[in-house]
Structure 1
Amino acid sequence: MSSEALPAHIEADEALSAVWQCMNTIAPLSLADTSWDNVGVLLQAPEPSKNTGRKIFLANDLTTQVADEILGDGQVAVAIIYHPIIFRGLKTITLADSQQRTLLRLAASNISVYCPHTSLDAAVGGINDWLALVVAGYNSSSMSVRPAQPSKPASVPAGHEGAGMGRIVTLKEPIKGSELIARVKTGTSIDHLQVALPSHTGYRTIQEGLDSKHIGTIAVCAGSGSSVIGGVEADAYVTGEMSHHEVLAAVAKGRLVILTHHSNSERGYLRTVLPDRLQTELARLGKTDFVVAVSTADADPLVTV
């Protein structure tokens, strides 16, 4: 259970207060990197008593399509959107901007929005621990894991010892690069990856290069991971995206780089892990009439053609 006090301004909102309590148990806001991130309740329903919905809705990004899905459902009280819907200060809130228009539409329907982002990245049992399990083939006994950037002790509540950004996975038995790629595809449920082989001119084929690369340590980070794992000593990097020059620097050091596209490194957790954890926490609060739903419209904007 979270040690943080429930903010007074949301206490009277049953659905939002339940989400706040559940999410601060799963991913305490104190774990977020607030030097740049924006997390927590970012949109509060002005008249929550007028929304009788009992559904908690999950999505990676609040696109227009996702907003249409939320509003069309008719039962959503709170949307948990992983990426922050507001990053910078707003000088206006008008219909001229698509994101602001979406916020106005949700507020008009008394739907609140909670954004966990880096608190869920850093949390024990959060997105990066899920990625660690993915690269270990969902066999936790086959690996040891530690954070790439441990959270500061003062920010770590009880139950989240070992929290931090990114993860370094050490496998008990090394695997081929081709096996790691297969695990990432299976674990993230995506068909195509971007792969950069370590700098070497002797490989006749990509497959030969992958089969000759033995992987014992893997650095993983959800989203754009270079700032977290770019300096980590590891045989392979697995993240959502890296810049051209960051990839060049990594392969020059002998790393295998595997990129999924940004949100593909995050979405699997929201679809396969977080719903059950939320439902469990809701039940602990006695909110058994609330249900958790996952967006079907949410998708990475980039596709391979």
Structure 2
Amino acid sequence: MGSPTVHITPLAMIKRVWERIAPLQLAEKSWDNVGPMIEAPFPNPNHKSVLLTIDLTPAVTAEALQIPSLSLIVSYHPPIFRGLKSLTLQDPLQANLLKLSAKGISVFSPHTSLDATPNGINNWLIKPFLPISSSNSTITNSTQIEGFEGAGMGRIVNLSKPLDIRQAVRMVKEHLDLEHVQLATPEIEKPVSSIAVCAGSGASLFKGVEADLYLTGEMSHHEVLAAVHAGTSVILTNHTNTERPYLSKVLQPWLEDELNKEIDIHDDKPNGQWKVLVSKADKDPLRVV
């Protein structure tokens, strides 16, 4: 009598595949929480769909529970950030995790590992400026891993041809599919020859960084004032608007391809192909009215 077939779990699969996309060693381990958030004890080996989201909100959870073949959610922001003393249905975010686990759905969060990786969110943010760039580099370096040289937090782009600030605004809005952004400029505007970018909230990373323009999701009132006083313009998009388009434009096809490569190598009886979906319920909590 032969030994029973052992299928790799969805969470084990994503951990293995993620090493080829954005190893968790690249994350800001001093404060971030990355990796498995909750592991469903009884995953269905025939369920081969993954849902991508920036935030694991109740709306995203409700959407996920309606996808029959779903076995895994990749939530960019970790739904568990600090230590928990209990998991109860009284807390809406904890209730999300409990409901998903009960349905055999695990949750994995990459967060800053995806910011730092060479083909990650920060590299994607500078994409519209690359055709006119003379150089680009990280603001801070991450742990160096073979095959991921050049990984790090934030990016600085030096332009071979200066841009008018309004040109830069148009390029950002087009790249991020936004109708509106917030703009702060010094009293005497100057051409933009260097741009510092950081997905999400960039003020702490921008400290001491000299650039003509800061591009990020959010900064506080006083942080914007300090930047403008130093002669730097600021474009703010709202926190998750620097991150969300990356899911559909880059990560969705990339992850789907990597998962299906893995199935050929490690799953001796593949049942259907992996499908990666992008949440339709996930959205920035703030809107312009």
Question: What whole-Å deviation, never above 9, does each CA across 1:205-227 have from its counterpart, x for those lacking one?
Answer: xxxx5xxx311100000000011
Aligned counterpart, 2:30: 35
User: Cα RMSD over matched residues?
Assistant: 1.5
C-alpha separation in 1, matches of 2:167 and 2:132? 18
Aligned counterpart, 1:161: 149
C-alpha separation in 2, matches of 1:242 and 1:100? 28
Distance 1:70 1:51, change over 3 A: farther
Distance 1:143 1:183, change over 3 A: farther
Q: How does 1:40-119 map to 2 (within 5 A)?
A: 40-48=35-43, 50=44, 52-119=46-113
C-alpha separation in 2, matches of 1:143 and 1:42? 40
1:297 aligns with 2:287: no
Letter in 2 for 1:247: V
Q: How does 1:1-305 map to 2 (within 5 A)?
A: 13-48=8-43, 50=44, 52-134=46-128, 136=129, 139-140=130-131, 142-151=133-142, 155-200=143-188, 209=189, 213-286=190-263, 289-305=273-289
Aligned counterpart, 1:205: none
C-alpha separation in 1, matches of 2:150 and 2:132? 17
C-alpha separation in 2, matches of 1:78 and 1:172? 44
C-alpha separation in 2, matches of 1:259 and 1:158? 34
Q: CA deviation at 1:34?
A: 1.0
Question: What whole-Å deviation, never above 9, does each CA across 1:182-221 have from its counterpart, x for those lacking one?
Answer: 0110111111101101134xxxxxxxx5xxx311100000
| 2:132–2:159 contact (8 Å) kept in structure 1 | no
Helix, strand or coil at the partner of 1:104? helix
Helix, strand or coil at the partner of 1:169? strand
TM-score, normalised via structure 2 length: 0.92
Letter in 2 for 1:46: P
| 1:194–1:258 contact (8 Å) kept in structure 2 | yes
C-alpha separation in 1, matches of 2:175 and 2:134? 16
C-alpha separation in 2, matches of 1:262 and 1:181? 17
Question: What whole-Å deviation, never above 9, does each CA across 1:132-178 have from its counterpart, x for those lacking one?
Answer: 113x1xx4464421001112xxx221111111110001111111101
C-alpha separation in 2, matches of 1:262 and 1:63? 15
| 2:9–2:45 contact (8 Å) kept in structure 1 | no
Identity %: 47
TM-score, normalised via structure 1 length: 0.87
